[in-house]
């Protein structure tokens, strides 16, 4: 396959409700989308980097810069196979979300040309995937209970509560008391330290599926120590940036569960490797989420249909995030989302709507950047 050029689009999408985590409040997404134009055809990729470098060191403006200056030029106008993409980009350190978006667009182009869906490519063994929903930090317990009740009524099969110091045991207790034994887990996004082990152990009595990323991302050994002091299984998100990191964390005893986000690990191919590492070692995995549009959601839902994804993912329906998605919406049916079956990502971008919410776009090809607008 030969990459002739890449279209970059920056769009703004308002969230249906503010989403608060231990690292901040988000009310909209500023999304970088890529369209790879190859000799085989076109494909879409979504970059999951946030507006600010608060979840990880990546942020959307930086991702755009590194793609234009360092990543896309390395792939342009040469014969490459998909398996080569990560290897060619490897000398550029970090920037996993930027790399993942580019690889995704190339993968979509190749699979569309081959008439093969993402699900088929990953070896999906299900036609629909079980869905959970990630519930932000609320300003009061009654408001939280109202939100959780709405999601349960909609059919979500698992609830994840975002927690931080000062918003942890009480919200979990309240949800357990009101909604009984619904599958429940929490996500701290690195907000605690090992000194909080006793406090975090107070969550043990609520029979949670897991506690996600309680400690800073580089504190892998501390997670192993924490695991000896809490009964709730520990799941890593931010710390797992590659299949090697996953294998190391598992061997250290730092996690009993892993959340896979293709953007965080540098792409779907690396995500598939992590899946395989975890299956080999008996570690359950589930699909994370980064508030993706229909483009990223399509890929995530397809990967979540692989056999090792044994827990419900943060693969929620389009209407949990946006009033209007940029593809046909993903709709929850009996708590599940259908895996797209058409070639590539299997979704169609609503180009007219996309253009109406685009605030910047440009094309990078043989002659450099051109037709930048906005």
Q: What residues make contact with Mg ion under the rule CB under 5 A? A: 187, 212, 237
314 binds, among ligand OSB, Mg ion, none (CB under 5 to 8 A by kind): ligand OSB
Degrees to nearest 5, angle at CA 101 with 95 and 105: 150
Find all residues with CB under 8 Å of 134, minimum gap 6, and list them.
19, 160, 162, 187, 289, 314, 316
The window from 3-11, 282-290, 331-339, 341-349 that contacts ligand OSB (CB under 6 A) reads 282-290
Annotation marks residue 164 as catalytic: no
Active-site position among 160, 261, 273, 338: 261
> Residue 168, interface with ligand OSB (CB under 6 A)?
no
The answer to whether the CB of 43 falls within 8 A of the CB of 106 is yes
Q: Is beta strand 234-236 parallel, antiparallel or unpaired with respect to 184-187?
A: unpaired
SS3 366: coil
Cβ contact 114:343 at 8 Å: yes
Question: Is residue 311 near ligand OSB by the rule CB under 6 A?
Answer: no
Q: Is 289 in the site for ligand OSB (CB under 6 A)?
A: yes
> Which positions from 227 to 266 touch ligand OSB by CB under 6 A, shown as an x/- string?
----------x-----------------------------
- Least separation in angstroms between residue 97's CB and ligand OSB is 11
Question: Is the separation of the CB atoms in 209 and 256 below 8 Å?
Answer: no
Best CA proximity match to 92, nearest among 69, 60, 61: 69
Task: Provide, rounded to whole angstroms, the least separation between the CB of residue 212 and ligand OSB.
Answer: 7
Distances (CA, A) of 201 to 139, 174, 225: 24, 17, 13
User: How many residues lie near ligand OSB (CB under 6 A)?
Assistant: 11
Strands (E), 190-340: 211-212, 234-236, 257-260, 285-287, 336-338
Does residue 58 interact with ligand OSB by CB under 6 A?
Answer: no
Cα–Cα distances in angstroms (integers) from residue 315 to residues 13, 22, 297, 302, in the given order? 18, 20, 7, 10
Closer to ligand OSB by Cβ: residue 42 or 61: 61
DSSP 135-199: E---SSHHHHHHHHHHHHHHT-SEEEEE-BTTBSHHHHHHHHHHHTT--EEEE-TT---GGGHHH
- Tell me which of 22, 189, 241, 293 binds ligand OSB, using CB under 6 A: 189
State which of positions 70-129 bind ligand OSB (CB under 6 A): none
| Contact yes or no for 276/245 (Cβ under 8 A) | no
Q: Which of 263, 288, 312, 346 binds ligand OSB (CB under 6 A)?
A: 288
Catalytic residue among 2, 162, 164, 231: 162
56 binds ligand OSB (CB under 6 A): no
Binding test (CB under 6 A) with ligand OSB, winner from 60, 314, 326, 349: 314
What residue is closest to ligand OSB based on CB? Answer: 289
**Rounded to the nearest whole angstrom, what is the least distance from the CB of residue 162 to Mg ion in the complex?**
8
Q: Check binding of 306 to ligand OSB (CB under 6 A).
A: no
225 is an active site residue? no
**Interface residue list for ligand OSB (CB under 6 A):** 55, 134, 187, 189, 237, 288-291, 314, 316
Q: Provide the annotated active-site residues.
A: 162, 261
């Amino acid at each position: 396959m030969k990459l002739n050029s890449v279209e970059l689009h920056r769009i703004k999408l308002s969230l249906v409700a503010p989403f608060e985590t231990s690292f901040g409040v988000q009310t909209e997404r500023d999304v970088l989308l890529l369209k790879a134009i190859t000799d085989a055809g076109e494909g879409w990729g979504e970059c999951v980097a946030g507006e600010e470098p608060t979840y990880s060191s990546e942020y959307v403006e930086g991702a755009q810069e590194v793609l234009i200056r360092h990543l896309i030029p390395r792939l342009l106008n040469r014969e490459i196979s998909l398996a080569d993409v990560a290897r060619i980009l490897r000398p550029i350190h970090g920037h996993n979300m930027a790399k993942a978006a580019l690889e995704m667009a190339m993968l979509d182009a190749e699979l569309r040309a081959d008439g093969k869906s993402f699900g088929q490519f990953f070896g999906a063994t299900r036609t629909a995937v079980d869905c959970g929903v990630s519930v932000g930090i609320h300003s009061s317990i009654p408001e939280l209970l109202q939100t959780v009740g709405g999601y349960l009524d909609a059919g979500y099969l698992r609830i994840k509560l975002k927690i931080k110091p000062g918003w942890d045991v009480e919200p979990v207790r309240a949800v357990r008391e009101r909604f009984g034994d619904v599958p429940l887990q929490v996500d701290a996004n690195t907000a605690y330290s090992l000194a909080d082990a006793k406090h975090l152990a107070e969550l043990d009595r609520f029979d949670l599926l897991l506690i996600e990323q309680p400690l800073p991302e580089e504190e892998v050994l501390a997670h192993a120590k924490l695991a000896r002091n809490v009964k709730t299984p520990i799941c890593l998100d931010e710390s797992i940036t590659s299949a090697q990191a996953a294998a190391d964390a598992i061997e250290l005893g730092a996690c009993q569960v892993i959340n896979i986000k293709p953007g965080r690990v540098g792409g779907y191919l690396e995500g598939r490797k992590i899946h395989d590492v975890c299956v080999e070692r008996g570690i359950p995995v589930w699909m994370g989420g980064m508030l993706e549009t229909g483009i990223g959601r399509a890929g995530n839902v397809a990967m979540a249909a692989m056999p090792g994804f044994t827990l419900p993912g943060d693969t929620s329906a389009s209407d949990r995030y946006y009033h209007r998605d940029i593809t046909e919406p993903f709709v929850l049916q009996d708590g599940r989302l259908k895996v797209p079956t058409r070639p590539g990502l299997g979704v169609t971008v609503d180009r007219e709507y996309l253009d109406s919410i685009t605030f910047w776009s440009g094309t990078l090809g043989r002659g450099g950047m051109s037709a930048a607008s906005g």
